[in-house]
Every structure is written in C-alpha cells, then in structure tokens.
Structure 1
Amino acid sequence: MSDWLQHLIRITGSTGAYFLLAGGVALLFVVSAALHLAWWRRQLTLALGYEAVESIDTADGSRIELRRIAPAEPSALPPVLLVHGVASNHRNQDGDPDHSLARYLKARGRDVWLVTLRSGLRLRPTLRRKTCFANMAHYDLPLAIGTVLDRTGAPQLDYVGFSMGGILLYATLGREVPERLIRRAAFVGAPGRIDSPVRVPRFIGSIPRSLMPTLPLRTLAIAYAFQSEWFATPLHHAILNPKNMERGMTRRGLVNCIEDVASALHADFLRWASRDGTIEIDGKPILRGLEDANVPALFIAGSADRIAPPATVRHAFEAWGAANPRVFKRFVLLGEDGSKGGYGHGDLALGAGVSRDVYPPIEEFLASDDPRATPPAQQQ
C-alpha cells in the first residue's frame, strides 16, 4: 500500500479513504468525458455562412430561428422554406457545401430559407416543456411561413419538409396554414403514420408528459461520433444506410445536426407509435383534412428507410387530395427508380448520392411551370 494511501486512511479511516478515492476516480471520469466531448465537438463542428440569421419569438413564449441563403440575382420564383425533422436542427438540409439541399437550390437561383423549430434549439427548461408537436404546428410553422413571406414580399412560397417537417404541413395545411400560401410542397421521408421499428407497449403511450424524460441525443451523438464509422451496427441501419454515407459525413452529421428530443415531443411520438400509428393533433388524425388538398406535391421515400418506411410515406401520398382528382402528386421510391442504392432515413438528407438522386427531382418539381411535365418514367 502506498504511503499516501496509508496516510489518508490514518486521517479519515478506511471507509472514508475509500469513499474519497472513489470520488476522485468519479471526478476524473467526469472531467475526462467533458474533455472528450469538447475535443470532438471542436474537431467536427463545421460553421456555415448565411446572408441572414433571425431569432423570432412565438406567440406562446418560445422561439424559432430563420436563416437565409440568397441567390446572387433575384429570382422570379417564390422563396423556398426548408423544414427539418425531429431530433435535428436546420443542418439536416444544410450539412456541408456538398451535402446541402439549401445550397443546391441556391446555386440554381432559388431564395432559400431554413427554419430551426423550437425542437431544434437549446432552450432553457421552462421553454423546453412547451416543445410538443401541437405547439410547433399551431405556432412555429405558421410563424416561419408568415415571416418568410413578409421578408420577401412574395405571396406564396415553396415548401420542403424532411420527416417531421413534412408531418407538420400535413397537420396544418388548410388550417393554420392557408393553402393559398403554399405554391408547391415536397416531402422527403415524411410518414403519414408512425410505424416503429420496434414494438412500443401501449402503456408507454399513457405515461404523463411530466414523467417522460428528455432524450439527451445531442450529448450521446457527440460522445459516439469519433467511433461512429468504425463499423456498422443495428443502430446505424435503423437510422440510415451506411453504404450511402461518405467517410466523415456520419461523424459530422452527429455533431452538427443532432439535437435532444424534448420530453413532450418524445411523449407525442411514443403515444402514436404505441397505438395504431395514427398521428393526431388536438385529438384528430392529421391526414383527415388533406382529402381536398389542391397544392401540387412530391413525395420521396427511401426503399430501406426504417424510420419512415415507404408504406407510411405512401399513406400520406394517398391521403393528399384523395377527393380532388385534379391535384398533381408524384411518389418517388429511391432504390427502385434508378438510384444507386436503397436509401435509409438520414441518408435521404446527407447521403453520398443526394445531389444525384434526391436534390434534382425536388429542384425540377419546384422550378417547373407545369409539374405534369415530369418524365413519365419517374412518376408513380
């Protein structure tokens, strides 16, 4: 036994000495973990520039952020609003210069706006408690759309929703968001119902929001980022198709895109998943109001997507304008429409082939004077 430990035992007694020793080891672990997180965050954080960044208060006391990527010359086409998914921020559609729908559209002359919903911001606990699906539908999305139209003076905008960003428009079109404000809508991996990859017991959906924990995904993502590309695990395949990710992109995505899932929003998704998968707002199925939709719409699904399986995206596609035979809508299943490989969920946003498989059909659909001019081979 070392002299310093013997001295410590004489001063504190054997029990006290071992408690102090255990505390020191625990402190060393905490400090090491904090340094580990800080180092990887610094190594993998990628800052991107925007023409404008604006923080806007919502009517219920929370806030959203808007970022603008403007073209070199004014566009005759309306602005485009990109809306991110759950557990992420605006960077899931602006990963880096080579994996960015926002910058792809800008390069083709579009005025692009990215919203960061309250779910993608690091809010103080009192505000985080207000982060649920209904509040984002009632407050965040209408505010984002109204602000973009106000700042640009445009009467309409084009909308691109990734995952939850698409679900939010399903829930609000013709209600909080008047149809006349949306010229075209594109949905990427945006399910019309929740099919969980694992069975969620029904009682889970009945747990009060006050008892539901926040999912600390941001910290976990940063901690795991350094080893995330060593080998593919079942978790990788649940979130994306690792074969579609360029080296380094998974690590950068984990550090720059991932955010915590607030307890109330966590409770919302578990409630839907634990029942029959029906997504509801204010007690009503969100797809019920889409039968008469008249906005031209593009739906993109990944054939290997386990978070938004193709059948769940098609569920929304079939509901869109179901009672309106005149509405144009198109369903594209990547992996079976000539794309290189089956797409999972995350790689629909940040995969190696997005500039070849995902971005062009969106840009062509949004830019076309007549969406019916889309080549028949790509329509379903």
Structure 2
Amino acid sequence: MSGVVLLAIAVGIALLVATIAHYRYWVKRLTVPLEYVLEERIETPDGSAIELRRLPPLREHPSGEVEPAPEKLPEALARPPVLLVHGIGINHQNNDMLPDLSLARHLATAGRDCWLLTLRTGRSDARLRERSLMRFERMARHDLPIGIARVLELTGAPQLDYVGFSMGGILLYGSISRTVDPAQLRKVVIIGSPAIVKTRWPLVLFGWTRFLPWWLVPTIPLRLAARMVAFVADVFPATPLHRFVYNPGNVERGIAGASMMTIQDLPAALAYDLACWVGRGGPCDVDGCPVVERLEDLEVPALFFAGAADHIAPPESVRAAYDAWGRDRPAVDKTFVLLGREAGASEDYGHGDLAIGRRAREEIFEPVEAFLDR
C-alpha cells in the first residue's frame, strides 16, 4: 500500500510540475508585450485603484513597423485626447490587442493622443480585500470620473473623446449626468455595449445566484482558464463557448490565442451585479435606476456599433441605448451601425471580434477615426 501511495504522490507532483511548466511556456509564447510612454496607477477614494496608459501619436513605416512620432504631438494636443475603456473580464488591451490589430494604435497612428483606462476589475494584482469593492456602482462612482478627470488634468484639455467597449460603454451609461459631466465629453463611441441584458445561454445558468448574498457568489477564474487553453484556441475554434464569445469565422488564425492572454477574472461582486441583470432579463441599472434613464437629454454626438451575431450584447440591447440617447433632443448627432452581412459587413460580428475581427480595421477602426475627426 505504501508503494501505491508513494507512486500516486509522485504522479501528482509530476502532473503539477507539468501543469506549471505548460502554463508558463504558453503565457511566455503568446503574450505580446506593448509599450506606453506613461503608465500610472491611481488610488480611488474607496480603497481600490485604476490604471492609465498613454499612447501618443505614432507613425507607421511601409514595412509595418510602428514608432513614436513626436512631430505629430502638437497637432494631437490641439484636438481632444481619446480615452478608451475596456469591457468585462479583460484589461486595457481589449482596445490595444496587438501592434497591428489595435483601435488605440490605429487612432494614435492617425495622430490622436490616446489613453487606455484599466478599471479595477481589469487589474491582475487586485488584493483579496478589494474584491468586495468591485461592484458596478463603485466603478461608475469612482473609476470612470477619476479616469476622465485625470486625462483632462494631464493634457490640459477641456474635453475628451470617449470610446467604450462593452462594459466600458455600460459604465458611461451609468455615470453620465451622475458622476460624469456630459460637458467633459466631445464625442462618444460605443462598441457592443448593451443597455438591456437579455437572458441567453450560458448566462441563464447562473442567473439564480442573484438570490444569494453577493459574498457567496464565487469569483469566476477566467484568467487561469483562458491561459491554460489558449494554445488550442485555433485548434477547436467552433465550440459553443467560442461562439458565445466571438464569431470564429471572423478572426484570423493565431489571433485568438494571443487575445486570451488579456483575459482577467470576473470578480464575485461584479458577477453578482451581472447575475442580477441577467436574472431580471431587464435593464442594466445603478442603485436601482435603469441606465437608459440618464441618456434621454444628452446632446453629445455618438456612434454605436453592434454585432449581428453578438450573444453577449445582441443588437437590440445596444439599440436600446442608441434609441434612448438624446431622445429628448431630436437634433442630436447619433448613428447606429449593425455589423452583419445583411447590413453590408464582411461577416456577422460576434462580441470579441468587434475588437479583433479580420476586417475590424476597415469596418470599425476607420469609421471611428472618421467620426472623431468629423
């Protein structure tokens, strides 16, 4: 018996060592390091922290190499800075995935001064005691207004252009005219940000957790899971889970694995908020107030994108925000773009491919650039 026990222990240790080696190897191989001229950590009044990264104007050589373009900076500073805010379960690289597949770097190459905000939920170094602070309402109260104010302070600009991907847009819905002054925003771009959460598989599977105290809802370890399976992202790209997150047919081979290195855990507190929205099958809210109720009097020009095959933010849920935006201001400049074949796009976009789609540059990045420059 002792021999069997020792063998089992040896096998267990060997498997553990192999797992750790596997994890480290693929993280090192698939992680794409990106550089910024400024990286700043900002403490929030409630005991958490956010991060800001600056990507000033760039120039792209015919070879594809990109480098800083200081000669473009004076012109960039004459225009509003651009703040890009990521979605749920990911970090700032949501909008800066790869050197040649990045909305932020596209805008920087076009001569814009870009800033990437990392919300408290996007940090991988969050302390255990911070988990209770990762509620949607706290991010709307602190993270977004602090990030906006800091960019305006550092640049001296009176306004900025805002780009929100998924939760980055929902946070703006919940913050504007509440903790964010609309006068601080010159233009707004919304990419796949629902105002109403539709109950769809697999979200319906954890909708029941809204009946629990939030502290009994587990943190969902997306970061570890994503990094462990990233190496097969291109081998088995068409599973139901893959299709829930993005349209595999709209992502070039080799992109999905690198993008999974940016995935972060879904904290218990935020998972509880999401479960409440899913369980009710209704609007996203802050303190019981639907976020769309604060959009009706807005005059800020806005551009909305929705993926025709997006299961996380279906077109009708993004359209609800578009319809509410400036409803009481008929002259407001707003546009809704449906990214689907029937609407003239190359593919029916899912959710994740709104950032990494094979033709995202032509169908999203360039229209965003044109809208902000208009």
Q: Same fold (TM over 0.5)?
A: yes
Residue equivalent to 1:37: 23
Give 3-state SS (helix, strand or coil) of 1:129's partner. Answer: helix
Per-residue deviation, 1:200: 4.3
Shift of 1:221: 0.4
Please, which of 159, 162, 180 is the counterpart of residue 162 of structure 2? 159
Secondary structure, aligned partner of 2:186: strand
- Give the Cα–Cα distance (whole angstroms) in 2 for the partners of residues 59 and 116 of structure 1: 16
Q: Contact between 2:298 and 2:325, CA under 8 Å: does it hold in 1?
A: yes
Provide the residue aligned with 2:233 in structure 1. Answer: 228
Amino acid in the other structure paired with 1:53: E
Q: Provide the C-alpha distance between the structure 1 equivalents of 2:308 and 2:329, rounded to a whole number of angstroms.
A: 28
Q: Which amino acid aligns with 1:24?
A: A
1:258 corresponds in structure 2 to: 263
- Map Cα deviations across residues 74-107 of structure 1 (whole Å, 9 max, x no partner): 2221000000000000101101111100010011
Computed over aligned residues only, the root mean square deviation of the Cα atoms, in angstroms, reads 1.2
1:296 is the counterpart of 2:264: no
CA distance in 2 between counterparts of 1:201 and 1:144 reads 31
Cα distance in 1, alignment partners of residues 215 and 196 from structure 2? 25
Q: Deviations over 1:178-237 (max 9, x none)?
A: 010001000000111111321347532111111111111011001001111113211111
Post-superposition shift, 1:361? 1.2
Measured in 1, the distance between the counterparts of 2:351 and 2:86 equals 13
AA paired with 2:228? A
For 2:246, give the aligned amino acid: L
- Name the residue aligned to 1:373: none
1:341 is matched with: 347
Q: Are 1:133 and 2:119 an aligned pair? A: no
* Counterpart in the other structure of 2:64: none
1:137-191 CA-to-partner distances (Å, cap 9, x unmatched) read: 1010001000000000000000000000000000011110001000100000011
- Is 1:200–1:273's contact at 8 Å kept on the other side of the alignment? no
Secondary structure in 1 aligned to 2:343?
A: coil
Give the 3 Å change call, closer, same or farther, for CA 17–44 of structure 1 in structure 2.
same
What is the aligned counterpart of 1:92 among 91, 94, 112? 94
Q: Give the structure 1 partner of residue 13 of structure 2.
A: 27
**Hey, what's the Cα distance between the residues in 2 that align with 1:202 and 1:142?**
30
What is residue 363 of structure 1 aligned with on the other side?
369
TM-score for the superposition, normalised by structure 2: 0.92
Larger-gyration structure (1/2): 1
2:93 is matched by which residue type in structure 1? R
How many angstroms does 1:17 deviate by? Answer: 4.0
State whether structure 2 residue 65 is matched by structure 1 residue 63: no
Which residue identity lines up with residue 325 of structure 1 in the other structure? P
Which amino acid counterpart does residue 353 of structure 1 have in structure 2? R
Identity of aligned residues (%): 47
- TM-score with structure 1 length normalisation? 0.91
| C-alpha contact (below 8 Å) 2:199/2:281 kept by paired residues | no
Contact kept? 1:200, 1:274, Cα under 8 Å: no
The answer to whether structure 1 residue 114 and structure 2 residue 116 are counterparts is yes
> Whole-Å Cα distance in 2 between the matches of residues 152 and 196 of structure 1?
42
The residue that corresponds to 1:210 in the other structure is 215
Q: Is the 8 A contact 2:209 2:217 kept in 1?
A: no
- The alignment status of 1:48 with 2:51, answered yes or no, reads no
Preserved CA contact (<8 Å) 1:197 1:238: no
Partner of 1:149: 152
**What CA deviation, in whole Å up to 9, does each residue of 1:311-368 have, x standing for no partner?**
1000111111112212111100011432211100000001111111011111111110
Query: Equivalents in 2 of 1:324, 1:190: separation in Å?
Result: 21
94, 102, 105: which is aligned to 1:103?
105
Q: 2:310 aligns with which of 305, 310, 323?
A: 305
- Of 143, 164, 173, the residue aligned with 2:176 is 173
Separation in 2 of the partners of 1:147 and 1:60?
A: 17
d(CA) in 2 for partners of 1:170, 1:213: 26
In the alignment, the residues of structure 2 paired with residue 17 and residue 124 of structure 1 have an alpha-carbon distance, to the nearest angstrom, of: 42
Question: 1:54, 1:314 → 2: CA distance?
Answer: 35
* Equivalent position of 2:62 in the other structure: none
Q: Is the partner of 1:114 in helix, strand or coil?
A: strand
Q: Is the 8 A contact 1:88 1:120 kept in 2?
A: yes
Task: Determine the C-alpha separation between the residues in 1 that align with 2:344 and 2:187.
Answer: 24
Asked if residue 194 in structure 1 is aligned to residue 197 in structure 2, the reply is yes
One-letter identity of the residue aligned with 2:282:
G
Secondary structure at the counterpart of residue 106 of structure 1:
helix
CA contact (8 A) 1:214 1:266 kept: yes
